[in-house]
Amino acid sequence: MWFQKEIRLPAVKRGFHLITDLLTAQLPELENYKVGLAHIFIKHTSASLCINEDADPTVRQDFESHFNHMVPENAPYYRHTLEGPDDMPAHLKAALLGSSVTVPISDGEFNMGTWQGVYLCEHRNHASKRTVVVTLQGEGF
C-alpha cells in the first residue's frame, strides 16, 4: 500500500526545528499502516532534514553553532554569492545533512527511539515556507 502527500511547513527562523508532531498531525493516514516506512523529502536546496535528540533544546542550539562554525558565511572562496552571505553556506549545510530521512512505521505510528525526532534544518536567515513530500509504503491493517 502506497500513499504520498505534500506538506507545507511554516516559515521558521534559521536553526534546527522539531517537526515530528507537525508531520504526524498532517498524516492521519499513518493509522492505516501496520508496518512500513515513511520517506520524508524536502523540496529545497538550502534546508535539510535529520533525525536526532528531541528532548533537550540545547542540542538544537549546539547543532546550529557547530554548523555555523564548520561552514562559515563570507568565505573568500565562495563564488555563489548573489543571494546573500547565508546562501552558499546553506547549500553546503543541506548537502552535508541531506534532503531526506526514512522513519519506520509500526502499528500506525512513527517507530523512533525515545529521544528521537525529525528536524527541519533551516539554513537561511529569511526563508519562506518549506515543502516536504512524505511517501508512506507498507502493509495495512
- How confident is the model over 92-134, as pLDDT tens digits? 999 999 999 999 999 999 999 999 999 999 999 999 999 999 9
- Residue type for position 57: P
How many domains does the structure of the chain reveal?
A: 1
pLDDT reported for residue 101: 98
The pLDDT > 70 percentage for the chain reads 100
3 state SS of 25: helix
pLDDT reported for residue 51: 98
pLDDT reported for residue 110: 98
User: How many angstroms separate the CA atoms of 71 and 48, rounded?
Assistant: 15
In which domain, by residue range, is 108 found?
2-140
For residue 82, give the CATH number of its domain: 2.60.120.460
Strands 47-53 and 116-122: antiparallel
User: How many angstroms separate the CA atoms of 91 and 47, rounded?
Assistant: 7
Grid coordinates representing 100? 531526506
